[in-house]
Structure 1
Amino acid sequence: MNPFSIKLPISFSIDKLQSELAICENDLWTPHFNTQRYEGSWTSISLRSASGEVNDILSFANKEYHNTSLLDLCPYFTEIINWFKCDKEAIRLLRLDPKSEIKEHVDNDTSYEDGFFRIHIPIVTNSEVFFYVNHELVPMRMGECWYANFQLPHSVQNKGLKPRIHLTLDCIRNAWSDDLFTKMGFDIHYSSKKNQYSDEVKQQIIAELSRTPSEINAKIIASLQAK
């Protein structure tokens, strides 16, 4: 099995990240749409969204995405985005306020093996932020660049007195990223589809799919329940 989280071999200027964050904070933070997933305040601002609007914070696979007008004001964020030589979907600033918690959940089809990878770059954080993936602490520090397999159970707690704000990029796997991940020790031929999900993860996936009923999701649920 490939690593469920890993720090990429690049870091970014904390001063420049926080300077452009100050520009973005003039826009309104939009509360996360899934209120069952968190307690406290979990909000977002979009730099790239399906509609091209700053307050459109939805992230769904296989949609066409557009840069928002806010990204035009952020040359350093643009430089970071362009470092990743692959197609991107949603790009957002995600804020978890003090004394707030994102409950444990799974995001479907969000592992590198699924052809998708989500990058987290902490802009503001503190020592009382606890980010867990697969029940293990991932020590993300400001300016660092991290990948995590969000197909696995994950959660975040901000027990500090300051907000935690990350720049996140939803990226599409390609030959460039395969080369990068191979150098980081990934087996790019590994497929998670060959392995049975644990009962815990399976039930979480079923619960997530059940929130958005569709014919495709019903078939996936039936397949998972049959295993």
Structure 2
Amino acid sequence: MAEVFTRPPCARLPLAVDTAPMLAALARIPDAAWQPHFNTEYFSGDWSGVALIAPADAQGGLTPGQGEPVPTALYQAEPAWSAALAPLDAVVRSARLLRLGPGACIREHCDYDLGSPDSDLRLHLPLLSHPDVEFLLDGLVVPMLAGECWFLDLSRPHRVHNPGTQVRIHLVVDCRPSPALQAMIAAGAPATPALQPSRGSLALQAFQQQVVADATLRASLLAHSERDTFIDTVLALGRQHQHLFSRDDVLAAMRQQRQRWQQRYMVQSA
């Protein structure tokens, strides 16, 4: 019986990615080719993309689709793209360049279409990035670097923040599961760098510790039962005490706490 492939949360594939040809091809893409991402409720700032391979029924090449994958003219004009995808040894259903502009954020969400055993495997190949960019998966920073290839299970909660002054551009590839690609993911998982807490989550934890020790702060927060007012107060008091975290950090912490409570409840009820 064939071994069942279990998707890890993420894995850095054992592939050497030559970014130089892709960066040269990227520089030749006209500004007009970049289209705003269709999930407008999920982000603030510039989150835009360029389709290289897209399902035939995908509007503008960036929306989801179930049709046959079709290479775009931009893909066909640059051999660097096909050379980058060839080592994956899998059917590529879509390949997009996704750009996150300076100061832009992608809010926490889940791509539920990637959660079934037969769903596509999503890979990220960072081309332009900066150490200040934080890609959070399950509340932890994935340390992706240019020249690497990562599998990410994005059916899990994830968000991205680019606080710097430079754009972040990844080549994002959706592949059909194949034995070769699954083997690369499995081989890369054990050596994948450990995920780390984000700057915002560490600041929020420090603020929480201060609240535990300060009765006045506790009283200020307990005075608010409405969620948005409570979050606004947490943010204001955090800034007042030099703890810099975002609304997304607070929302993620609340979701994680709720999830821990649900898990404990289910164990106790079993």
Q: Provide TM-score, normalisation by structure 2.
A: 0.64
Whether 2:109 is the aligned partner of 1:96: answer no
Distance 1:34 1:41, change over 3 A: same
Distance 1:107 1:87, change over 3 A: same
Measure, in 2, the Cα distance between the counterparts of 1:78 and 1:91.
Answer: 10
Measure, in 2, the Cα distance between the counterparts of 1:50 and 1:5.
Answer: 25
Measure, in 2, the Cα distance between the counterparts of 1:101 and 1:136.
Answer: 16
The one of 45, 55, 58 equivalent to 2:63 is 58
**Is the contact made by 1:48 and 1:54 (CA closer than 8 Å) also made in structure 2?**
no
**Is the contact made by 1:16 and 1:76 (CA closer than 8 Å) also made in structure 2?**
yes
Whether 2:21 is the aligned partner of 1:16: answer yes
When you count helix as a share of all residues, which structure comes out higher?
2
The one of 55, 73, 79 equivalent to 2:77 is 73
The one of 32, 36, 54 equivalent to 2:41 is 36
Encode CA deviations 1:175-205: one digit per residue, 9 max, x unaligned: 222332333358xxxxxxxxxxxxx59x9xx
Distance 1:81 1:52, change over 3 A: farther
Deviation (angstroms), 1:24: 2.1
**Aligned-partner SS, 1:184:** helix
The one of 168, 184, 188 equivalent to 1:180 is 184
* Residue identity (%): 28
Q: Which runs of 5+ in 2 are unaligned?
A: 1-5, 191-254, 259-270
Deviation (angstroms), 1:161: 0.3
**Is the contact made by 2:49 and 2:62 (CA closer than 8 Å) also made in structure 1?**
yes
Q: Provide TM-score, normalisation by structure 1.
A: 0.75
Measure, in 2, the Cα distance between the counterparts of 1:145 and 1:112.
Answer: 22
| 1:186-205 map, 5 Å | none
Measure, in 1, the Cα distance between the counterparts of 2:189 and 2:10.
Answer: 12
Whether 2:129 is the aligned partner of 1:125: answer yes
**Aligned-partner SS, 1:159:** coil
- Could you say what the CA RMSD is over the residues aligned between the two structures, in angstroms? 2.5
**Aligned-partner SS, 1:82:** helix
> Counterpart amino acid of 2:144?
M
**Aligned-partner SS, 2:149:** strand
Encode CA deviations 1:25-45: one digit per residue, 9 max, x unaligned: 454210011110000110000
Q: Which runs of 5+ in 1 are unaligned?
A: 187-199, 204-227
Distance 1:106 1:11, change over 3 A: same
Larger Rg: 2
